[in-house]
Structure 1
Amino acid sequence: MNIIRLGFNIDHVATIRNARGGLHPDPLRAAEIALKAGADGITLHLREDRRHIRDDDLARVSASIDAPINLEMAVTNEMLGIAIATRPHAVCLVPEKRQEVTTEGGLDAAGMIETLAPFVARLKDAEIRVSLFIDPDIAQVEAAARIGAPVVELHTGTYAENYGHEAELARLASAASRAAALGIECHAGHGLTFGNVAPVAALPPIAELNIGHFLVGEAVFLGLPVVIAEMKARIVAARHETGVSQ
């Protein structure tokens, strides 16, 4: 009842590999290690410019991993074809700009209803669970419901940049509660660390946290199994402290 899951994003393992070329470090190996250490699923973002994960990474992970795979992707016909061919457990639709270093904000679901509704329907027809990566805004959550998305992932970047400001946590709590009231499963991610993850993990409607950059960076110092186990322990402890059953 109301469990909280940890999705490990392997993108920045690929970033390190791509910086020099070749095959090392292997994102698939990172995924396997993370799952053994306590991660519940694997997230990867196949960007249009392939700056992180490449098509062969997606193919190898899909063929080798039994745990849920969450494919982050832009709303394009190319990505729709890849998703339908690959059939990951879930697809998270994200905004994407070539000039950005990382995803800078949520998808404008409220302004893209006519575009997103048929796109989401195609993915659902392929039996792929669909999530929309949105800012923690009530209007965006309600738009996701109108579009027919069963899941939203709340962008926690502003919260992470303003950690300690109660207003940002309140925005997340309000959006998560509205999602739950509409029957939408709520995830969260972006910029989460050991230091700021507990308040988000403690929000009862949050079912999953997707974390990548911090875990890959911290693994340089402590090792990947250690940081995955530590993050999982922290989010589970935060959930227990709210009195919500696991």
Structure 2
Amino acid sequence: MTKLSVNINKVATIRNARGGNVPNVVQVALDCERFGADGITVHPRPDERHIRFKDVHDLKAKIKTEFNIEGYPNQKFVDLVKTIRPTQVTLVPDKPDAITSNAGWDTIEYQQLLSDLVDDFREVGVRTSIFTGTDLKIVEYAAKTGADRIELYTEPYAANYPKDKNTAVAPFVEAALLAQKIGLGINAGHDLSLENLNFLYRNIPWLDEVSIGHALISDALYLGLEKTIVAYKDCLKDI
């Protein structure tokens, strides 16, 4: 079964725009769990423009499903992950001023850095996932770091899906087949939506997890959070 992890960064963005604690990030996470989400994802950035480091501590104390913390591994981030000990850490090569994640790691150039991080997180019992594109050599070197999983960066798939969905998904299937062959678990995320998620799932049914935030929270403005989570979970079925 492919798990749905809901990224709640956008909920924090709305809260931070006004100050105070509305909407309540922790309560939304608990509601996501109650409505069927299999996990909660957060991506704290150095400027705390959405998820704050305090949020991560508050969430750890409350949520019952899998907790995934993603981000660029500066020292503050590494220390946070080692303190919180989430289910999973997803390493993303974001620059501090990045609006959103826009590329995967060059696992060849950053082989030693990533290997050291994987070792550090394994020592405290945290599963590791490395954000990557579909280049097969990059996937191969991701496995050499000792990481448990990769997370395929799916923005190119989402962008090309309306033009030719079969062409769009082909490199992701190839990368996922290689990852499966060399023992990596496979997550996916970025710009996945109700429009394109089921096709990705049907072509890569061995996905371990998808992490979805922007589209899901946007859909919830129209459908409501519960119906939206149910709809996304339905996309992770053979329909």
TM class, shorter-chain normalised? over 0.9
Q: Which residue of 1 aligns with 2:54?
A: 56
Q: Which residue of 2 aligns with 1:234?
A: 235
Work out which of the residue numbers 24, 41, 65 in structure 2 matches 1:67.
65
Q: Which residue of 2 aligns with 1:244?
A: none
CA contact (8 A) 2:16 2:50 kept: yes
- Which amino acid is the alignment partner of residue 129 of structure 1? R
Query: Partners in 2 of 1:175 and 1:53 — Cα distance?
Result: 31
Work out which of the residue numbers 3, 6, 20 in structure 1 matches 2:4.
6
Q: How does 1:202-213 map to 2 (within 5 A)?
A: 202=202, 203-213=204-214
Q: Which residue of 2 aligns with 1:34?
A: 32
- Which amino acid is the alignment partner of residue 186 of structure 2? C
CA contact (8 A) 2:44 2:70 kept: yes
SS at match of 1:70: strand
Query: Partners in 1 of 2:145 and 2:17 — Cα distance?
Result: 38
Q: Which residue of 2 aligns with 1:79?
A: 77
Q: Which residue of 2 aligns with 1:184?
A: 184
TM-score, normalised to structure 1's length? 0.93
Deviation at 1:50, TM superposition (A): 1.2
SS at match of 1:230: helix
Deviation at 1:98, TM superposition (A): 3.0
Q: Which residue of 1 aligns with 2:219?
A: 218
What residue ranges of structure 2 are gaps of 5+ in the alignment? none
CA contact (8 A) 1:42 1:68 kept: yes
CA contact (8 A) 1:11 1:45 kept: yes
Percent identity, please.
Answer: 36
SS at match of 1:152: strand
What residue ranges of structure 1 are gaps of 5+ in the alignment? 242-246
CA contact (8 A) 1:177 1:205 kept: no
Q: Name segments (4+ residues, structure 1) moved above 6 Å.
A: none
Deviation at 1:158, TM superposition (A): 0.8
TM-score, normalised to structure 2's length? 0.95
SS at match of 2:68: strand
Query: Partners in 2 of 1:136 and 1:33 — Cα distance?
Result: 34
- Which amino acid is the alignment partner of residue 111 of structure 1? E
CA contact (8 A) 1:11 1:44 kept: yes
Deviation at 1:212, TM superposition (A): 0.5
CA contact (8 A) 2:134 2:152 kept: yes
- Which amino acid is the alignment partner of residue 141 of structure 2? A
Q: Which residue of 2 aligns with 1:196?
A: 196
Query: Partners in 2 of 1:188 and 1:182 — Cα distance?
Result: 17
Query: Partners in 2 of 1:141 and 1:169 — Cα distance?
Result: 16
Q: 1:205 to 1:111 in 2, by over 3 A?
A: farther
Q: Which residue of 1 aligns with 2:155?
A: 157
Deviation at 1:201, TM superposition (A): 1.2
Deviation at 1:41, TM superposition (A): 0.5
Query: Partners in 1 of 2:66 and 2:227 — Cα distance?
Result: 21
CA contact (8 A) 2:2 2:206 kept: no
Query: Partners in 2 of 1:107 and 1:12 — Cα distance?
Result: 24
CA deviations over 1:139-198 (Å, ceiling 9, x no partner): 111111111101110000011111143333001000111110011100101001111111
Note the aligned Cα RMSD (angstroms): 1.1
CA deviations over 1:112-159 (Å, ceiling 9, x no partner): 001111111000111100000111221111111111101110000011
Aligned length: 236
CA contact (8 A) 2:72 2:95 kept: no
Deviation at 1:209, TM superposition (A): 0.7
SS at match of 1:23: coil
